[in-house]
């Protein structure tokens, strides 16, 4: 599964240093994905998640980070994983 986002227009006057990506399984709590390439490169605005279980709903959120700190999280992205036909 791959999703893409657009960099925020208002960066608080500073350049972005990274993005944080959070994932929750079904109705569970969000956990930060510590292996996302966007965590070390703010020019990456796409995330790929390969280890999803079929028929399970996943939710994702993204937040931008600069030297001041982490900005607000995006609205949720909902995905229901499926097997390849």
pLDDT in the model for residue 85: 61
Among 12, 14, 69, 64, CA closest to 42: 64
Q: Tens of pLDDT along 34-62? A: 999 999 999 999 999 988 999 999 999 99
What pTM does this model have? 0.88
Q: Sketch the domain layout of the chain as residue ranges.
A: 2-80
For residue 80, give every residue at least 6 positions away whose Cβ sits within 8 Å of its Cβ, in sequence order, or none: 55, 56, 57, 58
Mean pLDDT, rounded, of the chain = 90
pLDDT above 70 for 66: yes
CATH topology of domain 2-80: Immunoglobulin-like (2.60.40)
């Amino acid at each position: 599964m791959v999703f893409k986002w657009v960099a925020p227009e208002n960066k608080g006057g500073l350049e972005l240093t990274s993005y944080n990506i959070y994932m929750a399984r079904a109705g569970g709590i969000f956990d930060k994905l510590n292996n996302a390439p966007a965590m070390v490169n703010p020019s990456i605005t796409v995330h790929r998640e390969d280890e999803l279980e079929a028929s399970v709903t996943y939710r994702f959120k993204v937040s931008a980070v600069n030297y001041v700190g982490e900005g607000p999280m995006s609205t949720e992205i909902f995905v229901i994983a499926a097997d390849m036909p």
